[in-house]
Amino acid sequence: DVKVTQSSRYLVKRTGEKVFLECVQDMDHENMFWYRQDPGLGLRLIYFSYDVKMKEKGDIPEGYSVSREKKERFSLILESASTNQTSMYLCASSTTGPVQETQYFGPGTRLLVL
């Protein structure tokens, strides 16, 4: 079974803090994704990566950066957290090839920025 884990289920931070969200997958997947999920807006793509050290902006990259130093690990960084970044953050991974669109998700990190 594919397993995607995220470093924290719940996180509370103060405005202006630097926040690291970590995601690890154990299936040797090439593709990894970070989304945020807000009520009524669905999942919105923040950043994604198709390979180590590669990153591409998604639909809402402002205020975020990412790091992928190892294939299995994809980190999301909030350089200076703001209250409008309070959200549920979901990480996902997928393989390349014929079923590359089937993404497997982690349990999510619910971030509250005060």
> What residue ranges bind another protein (CB under 8 A)?
4, 31, 33, 35, 40-45, 48, 50, 58, 90, 94, 96, 99-108
Smallest separation (angstroms) from another protein to the CB of 100? 4
**Nearest by Cα to 5 from 36, 37, 38, 27:** 27
CA 84 to chain centre: 17
For the chain, the C-alpha Rg in angstroms (whole number) is 13
Q: How far is the CB of 53 from another protein (least distance, A)?
A: 17
The minimum distance between CB 26 and another protein, in angstroms, equals 14
